[in-house]
Chains A and B, each alone.
Chain A
């Protein structure tokens, strides 16, 4: 029950002047139920990477294994894979097209070939999971606020009952409260359903707060892979590739330099506050 990449490479327009290695020999395994963050600056290959996980982009070389089976095997059911591995693109509200919210969310289940009743049941469940208020189910998705549209779009993927949920920058363009709401909702979802969640984000603060493992991409290669603490320990290397650690990590390092007896590993506000208090009491 896992998803794994084995030596995956991907080359754009091979043999032309625009040839570009988007991914270079990337390998990792994500066990079922993990909450993983993927970070990397724009153009680091992270978007290409996640599109490999549900077979939208086909690797130039290497294997993608879902539950132990190579998805590039002949006769492999790609559409079944896509309903198992749900991918929510950046600004997913731009894919909404139906006359009302409920019908839009039904699009996925309908493509799975479910009966209209089942479609609606799954769609309702999905909308509930993202905390979308029932009174708007029959409204046009184009009349909703930005945050609500995004919920509908995420529900549209959840309605297919995937075992893995991949979110590409789910908070882009939202206001601070909207960002927190979406991520809290995703975390709740992860806890309640045991779904694997892969979160692609630019915000180190968000990543540190929610995920249990971080994969850092740089120039198409996997640069770091570990728990937030382990990864942010390399904050100097992260800076060199245009990334950074969460702000509190820097505060902790500064304090340590100034002779405070603190571990600089804290990556969230809570951890940092606890650590600082300990040094005051101690």
Chain B
């Protein structure tokens, strides 16, 4: 159940996208998200689709995985589509029944909104699929490094993130184990009203917290014994260095951004109502 969520998971493979510097992936993902919001036209979405499709293709992550990652937002998606479809009153009415009306504008907005949402999630999941959690945190750390001057503990936050990522699967497994152990003692998590169900969580949450604290304590000790003393004076086993591929990726994404902006805004291409 919990394991079905693919967002934030790493899909190990050897691909051009995997090999890119994490910083490139973070920045380009942000640019891609921006590109979805600076235009709202059919041609613009065609260009975005080409860009996203090409990246997915290059990343060697099966499309199935990315589609699966969209599952958790299905409800949000449906909600947005329905709301926009019926509540936007703009342009000619296409269908009319009882108090509902679907207008040209409504159809257009709801469709574009859905695409935008899906591309948002797909775009970010491509980043997490192709970048190891450690790479991501290191990329963040490096990108946010200037904030250090403002006394923001960038290294510490990055270290915390990477540790959290390492322990998520361990704690998930532990939750599963504790649930089963309590079920073996007759606990029932499935029936009863909301209050009863919330109460049924206590025998899971207490042991889980106790265990998480124990682990945190052990880990802190292990880190100290291996001479960890914060980011100062630390060297890197895998320092981030831009390579030619990274520069190309930046250039291509920038070109994409310019093209989508220009085409999306200034080329008056319309197909029917879109």
Contact = CB atoms under 8 A, between A and B. Distances in A.
Task: Check A-B contact in the complex, CB < 8 A.
Answer: yes
A107 B182 CA distance: 9
B186 A89 contact: no
Interface residues of A, number: 23
B188 interface: yes
Interface in B103-125: none
A90 B212 CA distance: 18
A111 B184 CA distance: 10
Residue among A97, A107, A111, A112 with the most chain B CB within 10 A?
A97
Contact of A92 (B181, B203, B211): B181
Contacts of B211: 94
Contact of A108 (B174, B178, B186, B188): B186
A41 interface: no
Contacts, number: 57
Interface stretch (A78-86, A178-186, A204-212, A242-250): A78-86
A89 B185 contact: no
B184 A157 contact: yes
Contact of B186 (A51, A79, A94): A79
Nearest to A13: B3
B178 A82 contact: no
A54 interface: yes
A95 B182 contact: yes
Interface string A35-73: 000000000000000010010100000000000000000
Contact of A107 (B177, B180, B185): B185
A54 B184 contact: yes
A220 interface: no
A111 B187 contact: yes
A94 B184 contact: no
Nearest to A90: B177
B184 A82 contact: yes
Given A96-B207, A97-B203, A97-B206, A111 B177 contact: no
Interface of A: 51, 54, 56, 79, 82-83, 86-89, 92, 94-97, 107-108, 111-112, 142, 156-157, 160
